[in-house]
Amino acid sequence: MNYLEEPSNSFIRDEKDKKIKDFEKSIPLIGIPWDWSTAGKPGARFAPQSIRNELYSLRTDVYELNEIKFGFNDLGNVRISPGDLNETSRRIISVCDDVFKKIKEKNPVIFLGGDHSITKSILLSLSKFYNKIGLIIFDAHYDLREVKEGLTSGSWLNELLKDNKEKFNVIEIGISNYSNPSYMKEIAKKYGIKVFYRDQIIDDLKDVFYEINKVKENTDGIYISIDMDHLDQSFAPGVNSPTALGMYPHETIKIINEITRNSKILGIDTTEVSPPYDINNNTSRLAAKLLLYSINSYLGNKNG
């Protein structure tokens, strides 16, 4: 695994925390500081460090309601090749192949992006180990752009599904009106993606819960991809492309709770946080907490 760099800060703070290392509930964590596929406002390359800082200042040894404790096994950052997507993608896949083999479904692997294009590489690796993966994406954008030239983080899902349609059952949650060209709707249909516009779920989560459970039943495990721009810009100001009239974080939490109920979570990523545009580090802090809630919800359900 020589494509991994030592993280510049560690999750071990003091003697008490060290005991967490012994927990069987050690969650692997990998940073991917890649944002060279961003056509708009770059900066997500700084997010793995910034989200780690927030994770580091939060407590992972306690959750009041169900007493789940866990620790992170910080594997560091993938050593990206600046500006070279092919080589970087190759390295992400190589690292992931190694980690997914070792972790053997015991716990989800956490990925800190980076722009959203990193999810494609992660899933190319993951799909080697499973026949059918439930892919649940929180995003204001379809990311189904058809790109003729150059890179863009808005095309990764199209590129992934073009050759791997049958490997994934996809739900997209939080799509924002006026933020996507109309032709994407057709592409989504072609790939059988179940789409929930943000406005469709504002007062009622029943429909989205129904589809989530269908996916849980029909797949070997779930991968959750959280593009932070699915959240309203007042909660997530520090992203490449902020969303007015986006989702509220407590809605996301409720949906994640439903996803993790009686399911196997294979991996979770959080992408598109852009620290140079953030306010008081709010978006990194929220990303960190969404990850903690997701893991806890999963572990709580697994052991409940």
Closest alpha carbon to 139 in 160, 125, 157, 122: 157
Is 245 one of the binding residues for its own copies (CB under 8 A)?
Answer: yes
Near its own copies in 21-80, by CB under 8 A? 35-37, 39, 41-43, 45, 58-65, 69, 80
CA angle (295 as vertex; 130, 16 as ends), nearest 5 = 130
DSSP 82-97: TT-HHHHHHHHHHHHH
Cβ distance to its own copies smaller for residue 76 or 237 = 237
Near its own copies in 191-210, by CB under 8 A? 195, 197, 199-200, 202
Cβ distance to its own copies smaller for residue 59 or 162 = 59
Give me the 121-150 binding string for its own copies, x by CB under 8 A, dash otherwise.
----------------------------xx
Strand order across the beta sheet in which 71-78 lies: 4-5, 71-78, 26-32, 109-113, 265-271, 221-227, 133-138, 168-175, 194-197
Cβ distance to its own copies smaller for residue 191 or 197 = 197
Provide the minimum distance between the beta carbon of 230 and its own copies in the complex, in angstroms, as a whole number: 15
**3-class SS at 207?**
helix
Residues 6+ apart with CB under 8 A from 174: 138, 139, 140, 196, 197, 198, 201, 230, 231, 246, 247, 252
Is 303 one of the binding residues for its own copies (CB under 8 A)?
Answer: no
Residues at the site binding its own copies, with contacts judged by CB under 8 A: 8-9, 16, 35-37, 39, 41-43, 45, 58-65, 69, 80-85, 87, 149-152, 175, 177-182, 185, 195, 197, 199-200, 202, 232-235, 237, 242, 244-245, 249-250, 253, 276-277, 279-282, 285-286, 288-289, 292-293, 296
